[in-house]
Amino acid sequence: MTTTDDETTAVPGGLESGSVDAAGVQVHWESRGTGGTPLVLVHGGFGTTAMFAGTAPGWAADRRVVSVELQGHGHTALGTAPLSFDALGDQVAAVVREVVRQPADVLGYSLGGLTSLRTALLHPGLVRRLVLVAVPCRRTGWYPEIAEGMGGVSRAAFEMMRRTPLYDAYAAVAPVVDDFPRLMDALGVLLGSDYDWTAEVADLVPDTLLVYADGDSVPVTHAAEFFGLLGGGLRDGGWDGSGRPRHRLAVLPGRTHHDVLDSPALPPLVREFTA
User: Phi and psi of 132, rounded to 5°?
Assistant: -110, 115
Given a cut of 50, whether residue 55 has pLDDT beyond it is: yes
Which residues are within 8 A (CB) of 166 and not within 5 positions of it... i.e. 6 or more apart? 46, 47
pLDDT digits (tens, 9 = 90+) for 166-211: 999 999 999 999 999 999 999 999 999 999 999 999 999 999 999 9
| The pLDDT of residue 10 | 54
Which residues are within 8 A (CB) of 32 and not within 5 positions of it... i.e. 6 or more apart? 13, 14, 15, 16, 56, 57, 60, 64, 65
CB-CB contact of 219 with 196 (8 Å): no
| The pLDDT of residue 15 | 83
For the residues 2-6, what does the mean pLDDT come to? 44
pLDDT digits (tens, 9 = 90+) for 56-90: 999 999 999 999 999 999 999 999 999 999 999 99
pLDDT digits (tens, 9 = 90+) for 107-140: 999 999 999 999 999 999 999 999 999 999 999 9
| Total-model pTM | 0.94
- 3-state SS record for the chain: CCEECCCCEEECCCEEEEEEEECCEEEEEEEECCCCCCEEEECCCCCCHHHHCCCHHHHCCCCCEEEEECCCCCCCCCCCCCCCHHHHHHHHHHHHHHHHCCCEEEEEECHHHHHHHHHHHHCHHHEEEEEEECCCCEHHHCCHHHHHHHHCCCHHHHHHHCCCHHHHHHHHHCCCHHHHHHHHHHHHHHHHCCCECHHHHCCCCCEEEEEEEEECCCCHHHHHHHHHHCCCCCCCCCCCCCCCCCCEEEEEEEEECCCHHHCCCHHHHHHHHCC
